[in-house]
Chains A and B, each alone.
Chain A
Amino acid sequence: MEPSAPVAIALEGLRKCYGDLVAVDDLRLEVNEGEILALLGPNGAGKSTTLRMLTGLTRPSAGSATVAGIDVCVDAVGVRRHLGIVPQENTLDRELTVRQNLEFHGQLHRLPTAYRRRRIEEVLDFIDLRHRQHAFPSELSGGMKRRVTLAKALLHEPPILFLDEPTTGLDPQSRRKVWDRIMQLRRKGLTVLLTTHHLDEAELLCDRIGIIDAGRLVALGTPAQLRARLPASGVLELTWDAVAIGPAAAARLEADLRRLVGEGLATELDLRGGRARLQTERKGELLRAVVTQLPDHFSGIDLRQPRLEDVYLHLTGSETRD
Chain B
Amino acid sequence: MIERAALPRSKVPPWVHIVRKELHVYARTYYTEVTYVILFPTLLVLSLRWGIGEGKVTVAGMEYLRFIAPGVLLLAAVTTAFFNVGFIMIFEKEYSGAFQGILTCPVTVTDVVLGKVVSGATKATINGLAVTLLLAVVVGFPLQATTLLVIPLLFVTSLLFSAGGLAMGVVLRKGYQLGSIGNLVILPATFAGGMFFDYHTQLPSSLIPIVALSPVTMAIDGLRSTMIGGSGDIVLQMVGITIAFLLMFLLARWTYDATLLR
Among the 9-residue stretches A79-87, A165-173, A282-290, the one with 4 or more Cβ atoms under 8 Å from chain B is: A79-87
Given contacts A108-B17, A113-B10, A190-B2, contact A59 B108 (CB under 8 A): no
Kindly list chain B residues whose C-beta atoms are within 8 Å of the C-beta of A8: 1
Q: How far is the CB of A292 from chain B (nearest CB, A)?
A: 58
Closest to B97 in A: A91
Measured in the bound complex, the distance between the Cα atoms of B177 and A147 in whole Å is: 35
Bound complex: CA A190 to CA B2 (Å): 7
1/0 per residue A181-201: CB within 8 Å of B?
000000011110000000000
A78 at the interface (CB under 8 A from B): yes
List residues of B (72-115) whose CB comes within 8 Å of A's CBs: 92, 96-98, 100-108
Smallest CB separation, B24 vs chain A (Å): 8
What's the minimum C-beta distance from B250 to chain A, rounded to whole angstroms? 19
A263 interface contact, C-beta 8 A: no
Q: Does A40 contact B (CB under 8 A)?
A: no
Cβ B1 vs Cβ A33 within 8 A: yes
The reply to whether A77 and B1 form a contact with Cβ atoms under 8 Å apart is no
Taking CB atoms, residues of chain B closer than 8 Å to A115 are 7
Min CB distance A124 to B, Å, is 18
A91-B101, A93-B96, A93-B101 known; A6 and B21 CB under 8 Å? no
Known: A8-B1, A91-B97, A95-B25. A109 touches B106 (CB 8 A): yes
Question: How far apart are B247's CB and chain A's nearest CB, in angstroms?
Answer: 25
**Given that A93-B101, A112-B7 are known contacts, is A159 also in contact with B1, CB under 8 Å in the complex?**
yes
Report the separation of the CA atoms of residues A305 and B29 in the bound assembly, to the nearest whole angstrom.
Answer: 62
Minimal Cβ-Cβ distance residue in A for B17: A107
B56 contacts A by Cβ under 8 Å: no
Give Cα A244–Cα B101 distance, bound, in whole angstroms.
Answer: 52
A112 touches which of B9, B13, B21, B24 (Cβ 8 Å):
B9
| B contact residues around A236 at 8 Å (CB) | none
Contacts of A110 in B (CB 8 A): 9-10, 12-14, 106
Complex: chain A residue closest to B115, CB-CB: A108
Known: A33-B1, A93-B21, A105-B105. 13 other contacts (CB 8 A): A59-B261, A78-B106, A89-B100, A91-B97, A93-B98, A94-B98, A95-B25, A105-B101, A107-B17, A112-B8, A153-B104, A159-B2, A191-B1
Q: List 17 A-B contacts (CB under 8 A).
A: A57-B103, A59-B261, A78-B106, A80-B105, A80-B106, A81-B106, A85-B104, A91-B104, A92-B97, A94-B96, A107-B12, A107-B17, A108-B102, A110-B106, A111-B9, A159-B4, A190-B2
Interface residues, chain A, CB within 8 Å of chain B? Answer: 6, 8, 33, 55, 57-59, 68, 77-78, 80-81, 83, 85, 87, 89-96, 100, 104-105, 107-113, 115, 152-153, 157, 159, 188-191
